[in-house]
């Protein structure tokens, strides 16, 4: 159960990070719609490169505290 909770927390953190990065991109780019910012290759790549870092840190901390 401990591993399952850690995995769910890690996935949720990754999804929230991706949403935050894409929302920030949409807010700063004045020609893209919200849907286009999620589908653009640069934001997908940026989200995949930097999205796992907070997820790994939070999951590791959660795993060691339980």
Asked whether residue 10 carries a pLDDT value surpassing 90, the answer given is yes
Q: According to the model, what pLDDT value does residue 43 have?
A: 87
Measure the CA–CA gap between 14 and 5, rounded to whole angstroms. 14
CB 13 within 8 A of CB 54: yes
Q: According to the model, what pLDDT value does residue 38 have?
A: 85
**Nearest CA among 2, 7, 11 for reference residue 52:** 11
- The residues spanned by each domain of the chain are 2-65
Q: According to the model, what pLDDT value does residue 16 have?
A: 93
Q: According to the model, what pLDDT value does residue 65 have?
A: 86
The tens digit of pLDDT for each residue in 24-62 reads 989 988 888 888 888 888 888 988 888 889 988 999 899
């Amino acid at each position: 159960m401990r591993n399952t909770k850690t995995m769910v927390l890690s996935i949720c953190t990754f999804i929230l990070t991706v949403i935050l990065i894409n929302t920030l991109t949409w807010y700063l780019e004045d020609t893209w719609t919200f849907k286009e910012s999620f589908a653009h290759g640069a934001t997908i790549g940026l989200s995949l490169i930097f999205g796992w870092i907070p997820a790994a840190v939070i999951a590791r901390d959660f795993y060691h505290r339980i």
